[in-house]
Structure 1
């Protein structure tokens, strides 16, 4: 059996003696896309920080594969507004060679912005830049905290599709946090519903019917996910504009059942 990239065993993290992550176990290997969902304050980002090694674990164990390289994408890019910074310079600050940086920017669709100011990028462009910086490290595991933060709905769908493609190209594992329940159900292999502890976990098709999921998100959300199937007859470009299979821009036609 292949060694997991990361394994958490009964991990507990406490703030002021109160558990914000309570006895959480999970395992991710190459090819996995695991999405952590849950209400605000559920401990999702804290759990991610425990995986990254920047948050102390009070109980339990975090095990990483030998030589594991992690590419991390934070919720958003926070920079001093008065600091001039081009995309090229931002990528080079990662410590990776320019050719690796440029290859990563091409893969995420923002290489044409190489000399642009980071401050002038759209929300979708910034998230793709952060993803490119993570890719430049040639990661075994991508850890994404709300990767579609600040991106419109069409751009979100394109971004989640890109994440799946990168998983395939790199043969890496992916652990991500998301609030975009409808989109993420189509983009992930496994869902973990977190509310300090693991309320429920499983395949996207099954998770919406779990009583713990319904308790957390309500019947309305659960019922909408249960009947929601999203079929695209088109694609979206970097800016979220609809592009048909022939490449012409047009209306966004979704079929929902």
Structure 2
């Protein structure tokens, strides 16, 4: 078997002697998409920070593959609002060549905004900019903290589709945090339900009726969200509008979203 990108064993992080992450184990390989879900205060972001190496563990250990390149997509882009900053300049701050920055922006669908201000972006555009910034280094591991934060539901579906495509193109691993369970169930290979410790984990369809999952989220995901698989016969633009249905003779630019749920 290939060497894991990240191998976490019995990781514990304590704040003021209180366990925020409690004996968590997780192994991720190239091609994996693992989504961490859980209630507020469950330790999800703390776990991600430990993977990134910016949060020290109290006990346990994290092994990272040699020369591992990590691309990180935070929840929000926090910049001083009075600081003039174009998307081009923001991307160049990564230290990568302009051609690579433009290619990453084009791949995430915001190449046309190269000269725009970072302060004038929609939620979807901002998340795609952050994703481009993470991609420009050709990461082995993509780490995303609530990647669809501030994006409408159709835009979320398109963003998760893009993440899966990038996983395939880069042959990278993906760890993401999400509260968007109804879309994540179709966007991930494995779900880890975290509430300081790992309540349950496995393929989305397998854990959806797990007693620990139901105890944490209240009822089976099939009843509360009614979605595992999210099929499109069209695509969405950055605002979530339908831009094509894929049917001969159908109009492009607008339309209703025809989803299948199982």
Q: Which runs of 5+ in 2 are unaligned?
A: none
Q: In the TM superposition, what is the alpha-carbon distance from 1:252 to its structure 2 partner?
A: 1.4
- 1:27 matched residue in structure 2: 27
- 1:232 matched residue in structure 2: 232
User: Does the 8 A contact of 1:208 with 1:226 survive in 2?
Assistant: no
Matched, 1:245 2:246: yes
CA distance 1:184–1:166, shift in 2 (3 Å): same
Q: Distance in 2 between matches of 1:41 and 1:84?
A: 35
User: Does the 8 A contact of 1:200 with 1:210 survive in 2?
Assistant: yes
SS in 2 for 1:255: coil
After TM superposition, the structure 1 stretch with the greater mean CA deviation from structure 2, 163-172 or 235-244, is 235-244
- 1:157 matched residue in structure 2: 157
SS in 2 for 1:174: strand
TM-score norm. by structure 1 comes to: 0.97
SS in 2 for 1:193: strand
- 2:213 matched residue in structure 1: 213
Aligned 1:14-163 pairs, distance under 5 A: 14-163=14-163
CA distance 1:103–1:228, shift in 2 (3 Å): closer
Q: In the TM superposition, what is the alpha-carbon distance from 1:237 to its structure 2 partner?
A: 1.5
Q: Which runs of 5+ in 1 are unaligned?
A: none
CA distance 1:242–1:207, shift in 2 (3 Å): same
Question: Deviations for 1:198-257, whole angstroms, at most 9, x for unmatched residues?
Answer: 000000111111000000001164523466543322211222111222561211122334
Q: Distance in 1 between matches of 2:9 and 2:234?
A: 42
Q: Distance in 2 between matches of 1:13 and 1:228?
A: 32
User: Does the 8 A contact of 2:24 with 2:197 survive in 1?
Assistant: yes
TM-score norm. by structure 2 comes to: 0.95
Q: Distance in 1 between matches of 2:48 and 2:227?
A: 30
User: Does the 8 A contact of 2:226 with 2:261 survive in 1?
Assistant: no
Matched, 1:196 2:196: yes
After TM superposition, the structure 1 stretch with the greater mean CA deviation from structure 2, 44-53 or 235-244, is 235-244
Q: In the TM superposition, what is the alpha-carbon distance from 1:88 to its structure 2 partner?
A: 0.2
Q: Distance in 1 between matches of 2:188 and 2:240?
A: 21
Q: Distance in 1 between matches of 2:193 and 2:231?
A: 25
User: Does the 8 A contact of 2:213 with 2:220 survive in 1?
Assistant: no
Question: Deviations for 1:30-81, whole angstroms, at most 9, x for unmatched residues?
Answer: 0000000000000000000000000010000000000000000000101111
Q: Distance in 1 between matches of 2:34 and 2:188?
A: 6
User: Does the 8 A contact of 1:208 with 1:223 survive in 2?
Assistant: no
CA distance 1:208–1:105, shift in 2 (3 Å): same
User: Does the 8 A contact of 1:208 with 1:225 survive in 2?
Assistant: no
Supply the RMSD in Å over aligned alpha carbons: 1.3
CA distance 1:229–1:138, shift in 2 (3 Å): closer
SS in 2 for 1:230: coil
Q: Distance in 2 between matches of 1:225 and 1:153?
A: 13
Within the candidate set 234, 254, 257, 2:259 is matched to 254
SS in 2 for 1:232: coil
